[in-house]
């Protein structure tokens, strides 16, 4: 990988003019590959960039990267930028070929303390733009938020706009009250997370109630449970928010239930059954 080269004029480098995906694979089988590739199509369409690869070409490139089953658990990072024109101009000439980059890296197993102790989060105003549904490589706000979390010994920053929760810097947010999952509805204010969607599907399949509704920050603070979801971290229990305990300060029963369902689903993926 250190020998791969990209032009210094690449618009990903100069403007952050690109989109990306992170797709987990278990045993050589991808989790929700088509949904990730659909979201890539949506991101590319939103920035008006034609997808340089056909769906079949993506499937074969990605499968080649992770290797044939049974392969180690890996996540694939892929990005498409608008390419490398001769000069810097916000307006890109039409004849520039997009740059495609993809690599696979091992998925680190979850630390056992996470299931017993959970993770800490902080809250901050959402300082991002108004097209958060696009999985854009322009991630400066997420980088700043991740640093703020780290400085507060927290894993993630949960963001809100005018007191209404949007999402984490690199994850979606779900909460539990009265045995019901609540999560902000998809909109331009958050990324339509594939893990969030899978969590809601599993809830539906197993008769767990859920609502996709705006979540005021004060409601989040009073939640019985708070969860984060992302492809690389699955569903995580949040047990401290801005230094205060969430619920009784332990990972909750509904998280434990959902985690079992999620792990069972992963096993099916690993065995090529979904």
Q: Which of 168, 179, 171 is nearest to 225 (CA)?
A: 179
For ligand PDD, the binding residues (CB under 6 A) are: 22, 167, 170-172, 191, 193-196, 229-232
**Shortest spacing between CB 124 and ligand PDD, in angstroms:** 13
Nearest CB to ligand PDD, comparing residues 80 and 84: 80
* Smallest separation (angstroms) from ligand PDD to the CB of 67: 21
CB of 103 to ligand PDD, least distance (A): 13
Q: What is the DSSP string of 8-25?
A: TT-HHHHH--EEEEEEEE
- Closest CB to ligand PDD among 154 and 191? 191
Q: Which is nearer to ligand PDD, 193 or 237 (CB)?
A: 193
Catalytic residue, chosen from 108, 135, 266, 268, is 135
Q: Which residues of 238-260 are buried (b: 16+ CB within 10 A; e: fewer)?
A: bbbbeeeebbeebbbebbeebbe
Closest CA to 251 of 237, 265, 236: 237
Instruction: Please confirm, yes or no, whether 266 is among the known catalytic residues.
Output: no
Q: Which is nearer to ligand PDD, 32 or 84 (CB)?
A: 32
Half-sphere exposure of 190 (CA within 13 A, CB side): 30
Q: How far is the CB of 149 from ligand PDD (least distance, A)?
A: 13
Give CA–CA dist 194/197, Å, rounded. Answer: 5
- Tell me if the bond preceding 70 is cis, omega within 30° of 0: yes
State the catalytic residues: 135
């Amino acid at each position: 990988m250190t020998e791969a080269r990209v032009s210094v004029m690449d618009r990903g480098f100069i403007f952050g003019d690109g989109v990306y995906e992170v797709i987990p694979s278990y045993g050589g089988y991808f989790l929700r590959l088509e949904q990730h590739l659909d979201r890539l199509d949506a991101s590319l369409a939103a920035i008006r960039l034609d997808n340089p690869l056909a769906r079949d070409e993506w499937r074969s490139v990605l499968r080649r990267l992770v290797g044939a089953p049974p392969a180690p658990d890996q996540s694939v990072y892929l990005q498409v930028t608008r390419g490398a024109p001769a000069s810097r101009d916000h307006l890109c000439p039409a004849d520039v070929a997009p740059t495609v980059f993809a690599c696979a890296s091992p998925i680190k197993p979850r630390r056992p303390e996470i299931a017993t102790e959970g993770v800490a989060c902080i809250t901050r105003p959402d300082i991002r733009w108004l097209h958060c549904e696009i999985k854009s490589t322009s991630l400066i706000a997420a980088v700043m938020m991740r640093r703020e979390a780290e400085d507060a010994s927290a894993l993630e920053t949960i963001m809100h706009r005018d007191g209404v929760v949007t999402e984490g810097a690199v994850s979606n947010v779900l909460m539990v009250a009265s045995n019901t999952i609540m999560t902000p509805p998809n909109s331009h204010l958050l990324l339509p997370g594939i893990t969030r969607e899978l969590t809601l599907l599993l809830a539906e399949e197993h008769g767990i109630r859920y609502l996709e509704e705006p979540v005021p920050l004060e409601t989040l603070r009073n939640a019985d449970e708070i969860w984060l979801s992302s492809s690389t971290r699955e569903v995580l229990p949040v047990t401290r928010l801005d230094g205060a305990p969430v619920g009784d300060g332990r990972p909750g029963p509904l998280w434990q239930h959902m985690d079992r369902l999620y792990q069972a689903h992963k096993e099916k993926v690993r065995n090529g059954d979904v």
